[in-house]
């Protein structure tokens, strides 16, 4: 099994409604996102997934969140913008992008990890 991962960051604010503490106030983070894909085999170039292609898949999803107030994003109108929900959102967007591309993928989107600030991290992955 081969695993390819890409990591990036974005800045965004949020409020966790009804949180019993300071996170119920407006605050921001420099979020870190790591995405992993896996493949049983390699393409003719010896790659599971080209790093640039992985970056190109992730970049527009991150641009949608970067320098925003997450509570204003349509996805978070019906759910709190927690790290878990941010990971779920990114996973869903990436899955849509992978299915809408003309090129078939021999890789599987494994997981999205979101860190608001170290050492706290939330991970979303689908179960088979």
Q: Has 126 been annotated as catalytic?
A: no
Q: Has 64 been annotated as catalytic?
A: no
> What are the phi and psi torsion angles at 60 (to 5°)?
-65, -30
Cα distance between residue 25 and residue 42, in whole Å: 47
Q: Residue positions in the annotated binding site for Zn(2+)?
A: 14, 27, 29
Name the active-site residue from 7, 55, 67, 96: 67
Ranges of beta strands (E only) in the chain are 2-14, 27-39, 68-69, 108-117, 120-124
Q: Has 67 been annotated as catalytic?
A: yes
120 burial class (0-12, 13-18, 19+ CB within 10 angstroms)?
exposed
Name the active-site residue from 23, 53, 64, 69: 23
Q: Which residues are catalytic?
A: 23, 67, 116
């Amino acid at each position: 099994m081969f695993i390819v991962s890409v990591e990036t960051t974005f800045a965004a604010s949020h409020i966790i409604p009804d949180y019993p503490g300071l996170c119920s106030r407006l605050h921001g983070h420099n979020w870190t996102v790591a995405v992993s894909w896996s493949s049983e085999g390699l393409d003719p170039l010896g790659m599971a997934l080209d790093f640039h292609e992985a970056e190109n898949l992730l970049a527009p999803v991150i641009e949608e969140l970067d320098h925003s107030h997450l509570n204003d994003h349509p996805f978070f109108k019906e759910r709190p913008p927690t790290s878990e929900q941010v990971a779920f959102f990114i996973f869903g967007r990436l899955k849509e992008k992978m299915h809408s591309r003309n090129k078939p993928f021999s890789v599987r989107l494994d997981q999205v990890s979101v860190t608001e600030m170290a050492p706290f991290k939330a991970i979303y992955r689908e179960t088979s």
